[in-house]
Structure 1
């Protein structure tokens, strides 16, 4: 029996820039850092300030296709399930590895499935935990 995933929204008082978030990934010893420009139009952030999500004990990750247009046209496996585009979620239940074939192995043992929809792509990872921080604008 296939479980239908549910989604827990994790970003409350911040979000990525809706037009040009420019996500970047850095991996060090099972820790993955995902940085991106913050949305300073709708949330408290300096202009061009970056946010950073840190994922501990990361097992696999991907930053790939399905942009906002693809999501609205139903081309994403979660298009009809996730509450909204452009948010950061934990995917509860369901098979996190079904669908994409571009997962990158890191080697950690984390199993929580995290999903972030950016303007021009989708980020996913399996990790043990996450935290958010702001990086000072330069």
Structure 2
């Protein structure tokens, strides 16, 4: 299996203990909101970050957690560079995709870009046109 993982989070990350992730859909765009890691990065306590995915086609919050990853039972254990990071995956992606748990949002011939974010107790994945990050200092 030939997969490439490009780490996308630079200078920020989700809270490793209680990210409090939330997914919402607005006009065909997916928003993944989560608490930022204020202990290791420049963030305020309880500050939230948002990943915006325009043109999302499908997404899932999978059951894989950090225990499965570190025990070597995770889907990308030993393949992805690190747990707890946000990646774009390219290469032979389809061969390794789970078939359950996907929420189909949009239509389109191509699946778009594959994004993966390892959170504490779940794994977020989506296929979308692009992504961006913003802070919600609320």
Query: TM (normalized to structure 2)?
Result: 0.92
State the aligned residue count.
Answer: 135
Counterpart for residue 105 of structure 1 = 104
5+ residue gaps, structure 2, are none
**CA distance, structure 1, for counterparts of residue 88 and residue 105 of structure 2:** 19
Query: Where in structure 1 do 4 or more consecutive aligned residues deviate above 6 Å?
Result: none
**CA distance, structure 2, for counterparts of residue 116 and residue 58 of structure 1:** 15
Counterpart for residue 30 of structure 2 = 32
Counterpart for residue 71 of structure 2 = 73
Counterpart for residue 115 of structure 1 = 116
5+ residue gaps, structure 1, are none
Contact residue 8 and residue 89 of structure 1 kept, 8 A:
yes
**CA distance, structure 2, for counterparts of residue 77 and residue 100 of structure 1:** 13
Counterpart for residue 91 of structure 2 = 93
Query: TM (normalized to structure 1)?
Result: 0.92
What is the root-mean-square deviation of aligned Cα atoms in Å?
1.3
The structural deviation recorded for 1:92 is 1.2
